[in-house]
Amino acid sequence: MSRSARSRRVAAGVAVLATAALALAACTPGSNSSSDSTSAATASEVQTDISKVADQTLTVWDQEVRGGQNEQMERLNAAFEKKYPNITIDRKTQSNDDLTTTLRLALTGNDAPDVTQANNARSQMGQFVAAKQLVSLDPYAEAYGWGDRYPESVLSYSSYSPDGKTFGGGSVYGLPQVGEVVGVFYSKSKLAELGLQVPATWGEFEDQLGTIKAAGQTPLLLGNIEQWPALHVFGPIQGALVPADEIHTLGFGNSGGSWTDDSNVQAATTIQQWAQQGYFNDGFNGTDYDAAWQSLTKGGGVYLIGGSWLAADLKAAMGDDVGFFAPPPAEAGKGPVTTGGTGIPFAITSKAENPDVAAAYINFITSKEAMGVLAETGNLPVVDTAAHTPGSGVMKDVFTAYADVTEKGQLLPYLDYATPTMNTTIGQALQSLMAGESTPKQFTETVEADYAAFVGSNK
């Protein structure tokens, strides 16, 4: 799962937001480097054959904790160790929230992993790059041909200038495995019981929420105690009401946008009204994220707005009863617009014992063969997506929705990318807004203050 993750165009397509320049600037490959991660290096210095390196342990931290996510990591790690018996993987897996906390501490101490998933947001990857705690992957990108494997727009989502100020260009600092799209999971049996079909437009979807509520059922399930899940509900609402190019500007923390314009106030008003009208489950702000999606499997509600990473677990619990669709467009015939991107990318820390071994590992778990394993375990490959589309079931729905959004509509960045503090600011602000403790105007002003302060200082 990814709490914020990461939008880019894959073979199935991802919205083009920026071009990542594959400049050669990196920590010298093969060295134990706590030195300047932008020191010059060339692809010819990279050791891609690690079969003869000394026996060693590669420490990997990830947050691939759920069923299909964990399974793909276990399978790929086992295959890597089989190919390279001289390398032992010491994997530490933890929730996204725990990784966020422990990684920040580890990077400033002596217990940093060799490879880690690092959220691409300015609040994490951006700060780690600025502090020279991550290694530029540019020499490895050239040596392994990652520029051919990944579209530039995919690489842009984990690209920063060496000082961390520019997001979406500069050097590559991470590679993702999976694509992500936020959409609507639903119970097919409940929808049929209510005489409803998958809505074709955003207006029809909103009308259905009222119909479901009037029928005595819970229209939308949400667990927002961690605060970030509400961003995945607000994102599609904003996408239906605010121009996509403005959301791109705001989401990447670039100058020229405004959170306080009428369309953003309207989006804030909409999510607050949904809460006031009882469209969400009781106590949603105090409900755990996992408890909310698990409630869908037990008949606790009809719809769940969430990320594609939940599909494998929902399928395991609900079988053919679970479906998924992209948030419908504001106008019939238009492409869908929603939040999405890639999973949290894998990066090399500046304290890695052997960056060449770390890079070989990242190359292995993002290879064409790895994409097949990802698909087999119910994940959405970030590249070669179309080639792995299943023939039926919720995963077919997810793959189709991802293609529709990226090829016909717009995939929007996660909003907490924008500034180093935006994840906390907007998470708390949404929780307060949905609880009726602030007005839509106050919400937009709070978020604008964070955004404007960052843009003003990031020059």
Could you write out the DSSP letters of every residue in 124-171? IIIHHHHTT-B---HHHHHHHTHHHHS-HHHHHTTEE-TTS--BSSSE
Q: What is the pLDDT of residue 23?
A: 32
pLDDT in tens, 227-269: 999 999 999 999 999 999 999 889 989 889 999 999 999 999 9
b/e for 331-353, b at 16 or more Cβ within 10 A?
eeeeebbbbbbbbbbbbbbbbbe
48-79 pLDDT, tens digit each: 999 999 999 999 999 999 888 999 999 999 99
pLDDT of res. 156: 82
What's residue 155's pLDDT? 85
Residues 234-245: b if buried by 16+ CB within 10 A, e if exposed = bbbbbbbbbeee
Predicted pLDDT of residue 3: 41
- Tallying the residues shown for the chain, one arrives at 459
Q: Is the confidence at residue 9, as pLDDT, over 70?
A: no
Contact 383, 154 (CB under 8 A): yes
- What domains can you pick out in the chain, each with its CATH number? 43-178+343-384 (3.40.190.10), 180-341+394-457 (3.40.190.10)
**CA–CA separation, 45 and 243 (whole Å):** 45
Return the higher-pLDDT residue of 18 and 266: 266
pLDDT digits (tens, 9 = 90+) for 147-179: 998 877 678 889 999 999 888 879 999 999 998
As to burial, measured by CB atoms within 10 angstroms (0-12 exposed, 13-18 middle, 19+ buried), residue 386 is middle
Count the neighbouring beta carbons within 10 Å of the beta carbon of residue 110: 7
Question: Average pLDDT for residues 283-295, to the nearest whole number?
Answer: 97
Residues 427-456: tens digit of each pLDDT: 999 999 999 999 999 999 999 999 999 999
- The pLDDT, as a whole number, for residue 41 is 55
The first and second tokens of residue 227, run together, are 């605060």
Looking at residue 387, what is its pLDDT? 85
DSSP three-state, residue 326:
coil
Q: What is the pLDDT of residues 375-406, one digit of tens each?
A: 999 888 988 888 899 999 999 999 999 888 87
Contacting residues for 132 by C-beta, under 8 A, at least 6 apart: 36, 37, 38, 350
Residue 4 has pLDDT above 60, yes or no: no
Kindly report, residue by residue over 210-232, the tens digit of the pLDDT: 999 999 999 999 999 999 999 99
